[in-house]
Amino acid sequence: MRGDPRRGARPAARRRARHRQVDAVRAALRRRVRHQRTGRAGHGRNHRGPAQVRLELRAASGPGPHPAGARAVPGADRHVPGRDGPRREVTRCLPEVQDALVSLLSERRIAVPELAGTDDALVHAAPGFNLIATANLRDKGVSEMSAALKRRFNFETVGPIGDLDAETALVRGQARAAVERSGAPFQVDDAVLEALVTAFRDLREGRSAEGWEVERPSTVMSTAEAVSVAGALALAAAYFPGDRDVLGLLPGHLLGVVRKDDPADAARLRGYWDGPVRRRAEQGSATWRTLWDLRTVLEG
């Protein structure tokens, strides 16, 4: 019995289409375009980025799913050699990623469904593999850790920097490095930095160094935010010099930090000015006297 001649033509047509796809992908990579538009004229077109184009090239030109064409995802690159793998801000991961971490930490292996039926379908961790993750106790992110995931970690709580001089030195060093990388000079003196860090510490802890009560705002008031404010002060002094010195810019920047999460926190900052700032000004501190004279800035 004679077979249908069209049956033999279908694989050949698929191969030709496959070669056309490979040629299009290679052309896109050679042109170094940000997106490749594919599809026939008059039909819908798809936009593909460079990463997706490279994946399609491997799938179209290779022998199908194969370990040689696989690319380790974050975590798997540390999983196989047996090293420590960092996972920053685990509470900002999607719940699906956190669920995957549970099995990863429990079974110490990763399943690759595309390689099912081969010896490479399961990738086992080597001895020494660990996962180090971070999370902020106040800024909890978008996905709270499940009880199952928490049981697989050993927790160590690191509090804010306890020493004023140490935190001021850290803010100075990090802000100076960031500003100088941008090509601007760092012109914020130590008195301004100390006042900045002191205000952050008072508002963060709800109590001043003298023991005076301070109403805490809802924002975190972290050391990283202090570094950002110090850098902004330096850039303002470098590129927007005016009548006011750098210290005169500090109240406005503090107001922006405090009320970015809750506009009602502006009243708490004014209460801080009416309390510790005024008392320090009355005790004779020139820096805090200048800040007290700038209280009207907080009314904006």
Amino acid (1-letter code) at residue 157: T
Among candidate residues 196, 201, 176, the one with its CA nearest the CA of residue 250? 196
Q: Tell me the pLDDT band of 193, cut-offs 50, 70 and 90.
A: very high
E strand or H helix that includes residue 37: strand 36-38
Cα–Cα dist 251/232, whole Å: 13
What are the Cα distances from residue 281, in Å, to 73, 215, 249, 299?
A: 56, 19, 18, 19
- Model pLDDT, residue 45: 44
pTM over 0.75: no
Contact 95, 84 (CB under 8 A): no
Local structure of residue 297 (DSSP, 8 states): G
Q: Which of 133-147, 163-177, 182-196 has the lowest mean pLDDT?
A: 133-147
Name, of 59-68, 80-89, 267-276, 291-300, the range with top average pLDDT: 267-276
Instruction: Write out the two tokens for 14.
Output: 């698929």
Q: Which of 64 and 299 is assigned the larger pLDDT? A: 299
E strand or H helix that includes residue 225: helix 223-239
On average, the pLDDT of the chain sits at: 79
Instruction: Write out the two tokens for 292.
Output: 């007290």
